Amino acid sequence: MLSTDRKQVIRAQLLKLGSSDLVLSALRPSALALGAEAHVAITLPGRFIELELPGLVDWEDGATFGIRLDYLSARQAYGFALARELLARPPQVALAFRRAARR
């Protein structure tokens, strides 16, 4: 997650990509209280695609918290949709796809 001056504030584990929100797990600093603006930087493995998604800290439950996404540009929406598609694939399908690509 990035601060407003584009410095990394925390490194979080992505638990779930919803249709308009993210569920993350990390120890949040006090600057990321409920309602705070957040910028989440996501790198899609194997695709060399990085995207930054703006949002608000919507809820929290200990080390797990949710980010409700703001308006996304066309490029951000494409990257978000691609990330959802990649994460929705079962690991076996993704592995078979990589093997087929190498032949």
Cα–Cα distance measured from residue 84 to residue 60, given in angstroms and rounded to the nearest whole number: 22
Over residues 25-82, the pLDDT tens digits come to 888 777 778 888 888 888 877 777 788 899 998 998 888 899 999 999 998 998 888 8
Over residues 41-51, the pLDDT tens digits come to 888 777 777 88
Could you tell me if residue 1 is inside a domain? no
Could you tell me if residue 39 is inside a domain? yes
How much is the average pLDDT of 11-32? Answer: 84
Could you tell me if residue 74 is inside a domain? yes
Length of the chain in terms of residues written: 103
Could you tell me if residue 87 is inside a domain? yes
Our count of domains for the chain comes to: 1
Q: Which domain holds residue 93?
A: 13-102
**Count of alpha carbons within 13 Å of 51, Cβ hemisphere only?**
19
Structure tokens at 65: 């918290």
Q: What pLDDT does residue 69 have?
A: 93
